[in-house]
A = this chain, B = another copy of it.
Amino acid sequence: MIGRLNHVAIAVPDLGAAAAQYRDTLGAVVGPPQDEPDHGVTVIFITLPNTKIELLHPLGADSPIRGFLDKNPSGGIHHICYEVDDILAARDRLAAAGARVLGSGEPRTGAHGKPVLFLHPKDFTGTLIELEQA
């Protein structure tokens, strides 16, 4: 069911410093910051030959990653995103297996403009998993 690893998301306390580190120290291709007010984050995508790294920084007072950074002030890996062909079929298969989908259970539009869902980390070995319809 799951396909490509779309991205690994890393929450960072200083977006500019993290972007400079990936560009200058690690020599990667780093994009511009993009505000995603619907998701409460500013993101920067780093393009690797086979996938992407998504740097996440809180945007606004209610950012969903604020609590994560409070617990992990240096930052850390926040989630991984797998692609699926059909997000509603994936959701139904997961629900039938007893896995919890976060929120209402209806897909939202993610940072790439495609439907996404998040799965409960307690149901997946402590890992927050995003599914994105490819």
Contacts and interface: CB of A to CB of B under 8 A. Distances in A.
Interface residues of A, number: 39
Contacts of A126: 10, 72, 74-77
Tallying the copies of this chain within the complex gives: 2
B2 A97 contact: no
A101 interface: no
Contacts of A1: 26-28
19 contacts: A1-B26, A4-B49, A4-B50, A5-B5, A5-B8, A5-B48, A5-B53, A10-B125, A18-B125, A21-B125, A50-B51, A51-B51, A72-B126, A74-B121, A74-B122, A75-B127, A76-B121, A76-B125, A77-B127
